[in-house]
Amino acid sequence: MTKTGTVHRWDAARGFGFIRSPGSSADVFFHVRDYRGAGSPPVEGTEVRFEEIHVGGKGPRAMAVQPLATPQRAAPRRRGDRDAAANVARRRRGAPATAQLWVPLLMLPLWLGLLGAGLWLHRLPWWAVGALAAANVLTLFAYAFDKNAAENGRWRTAEDTLHGFALMGGWPAAWLAQQALRHKSSKVAFRQVYALTVMLHCAALAGWVVWLAPRLT
């Protein structure tokens, strides 16, 4: 007898399952060899047509099980589609926004210009350059230490500490470490705070060189 129903349960490891049909009093057993799915394995929820038989009092069994609609296979993605999907995935993982990347690059010439002007106009002491160099070396080591700790499951450096180093003037080394070590470079929230520390440091330096230092002399 030909009936229709829905694949209710399928055990792929054992190669059999059951069809639930409104015309049958019990779920109908079927084996993978009786499935006519054009090379596709049975999937739970698939509507099928089948021939129901009864053998040896073991309950109904389905033969010549055929899906009513052939499952549609997804078309292979073109390279452009794969690239677009990869870009979306990176954004969902927190890839850094473009604005957060160009802030340090834009501020670097300004920062170097302020340092040069401060030294030339005697509004910054020479030891300030050494202090900034030390801050950058310390920042670079802090990022490298935190990167190694992250990879080996050891105690991490607090993000506030890394931001503190950047605020003190170590932000160029922080940017270098983020790019070279690929550390903290894809966490949007961290990059946003980092960009803020860059702007705050440069604003404080500009305020000292341009406005405050001349008034103190």
- CA gap 178, 69 in Å, rounded: 52
The pLDDT confidence band at residue 78, using thresholds 50, 70 and 90, is low
Convert the pLDDT of each residue in 148-158 to its tens digit: 888 787 888 99
Mean pLDDT across 93-116: 76
What pLDDT score was predicted for residue 94? 44
Question: What are the tens digits of pLDDT across the range 15-65?
Answer: 899 999 987 878 899 988 889 877 788 889 999 999 998 876 677 888 999
DSSP E strands in 74-146: the ranges are none
The C-alpha torsion from 183 through 187 and 190 to 194, rounded to 10°, is 60
**pLDDT-derived band at 96, boundaries 50, 70, 90:** very low
- Helix extents (H) in 94-158: 98-120, 126-152
Q: Rounded CA gap, 166 and 97, in Å? A: 19
Domains of the chain: 2-67 (2.40.50.140), 96-216 (no CATH)
Helix axes of 126-152 and 171-180: crossing angle, nearest 10 degrees: 30
